[in-house]
Copies of this chain bind each other. A is one copy, B any other.
Amino acid sequence: MKRNSRLSGVLHVLLHMAQQPGPFTSETLAKAMDTNPVVIRRVMAGLRELGYVRSEKGHGGGWRLACDLSKVTLRDVYAALGSPSLLAMGNRTESPGCLVEQAVNAALDQAFHDAEALLLSRLGEVTLAMLSEDLRKRLGSRRIHDISAHRA
């Protein structure tokens, strides 16, 4: 999986899960995402803590959606991943003694903060249900979208 694509990856998994009844094993999901089952479990753990999915062990076990898709936004999913930093750039030092650095930080922080706020706001406007609806439109005529037939 490409760098820093957890959000993208998790959404992919959730959307697939919304297309078929579960449960899905970590191995199935991992194959579809071209990654490792452990990675799936790691990423899904955050979602489980917030009650968006459930997991069960043993025969017939695996992952299932456990939330109202119209109530969960992309921002919620992002938060479930631990709210990793959104921006690729940051300040050299956070609490500088140098006044020059303080002046630089003040200017950059303002811009960075605004951009982060906008991004979070946008993510908060999109629910998983909206994504799923968009997907159904894209699927069009095709009746089923089986995860086992996944190709990148």
Contact = CB atoms under 8 A, between A and B. Distances in A.
Interface string A132-152: 001100110000010000111
A88 B88 contact: yes
Main secondary structure of the interface of A (DSSP, over half): helix
A56 interface: no
Per assembly, the copies of the chain total 2
Contact of A16 (B6, B8, B100): B100
Interface string A84-102: 1111111111001111111
A110 to B, nearest CB: 7
A104 B32 CA distance: 15
Contact of A12 (B16, B87, B97, B101): B101
B135 A100 contact: yes
9 contacts: A5-B90, A74-B111, A100-B135, A101-B152, A102-B138, A103-B134, A107-B134, A111-B119, A115-B118
Interface of A: 1-9, 11-12, 15-16, 19, 33, 74, 84-93, 96-108, 110-112, 114-116, 118-119, 122-123, 126, 130-131, 134-135, 138-139, 145, 150-152
Given A8-B89, A11-B104, A103-B131, 14 more contacts: A6-B89, A9-B92, A12-B100, A12-B104, A16-B100, A86-B88, A88-B88, A96-B152, A98-B151, A100-B135, A104-B131, A106-B134, A111-B122, A114-B122
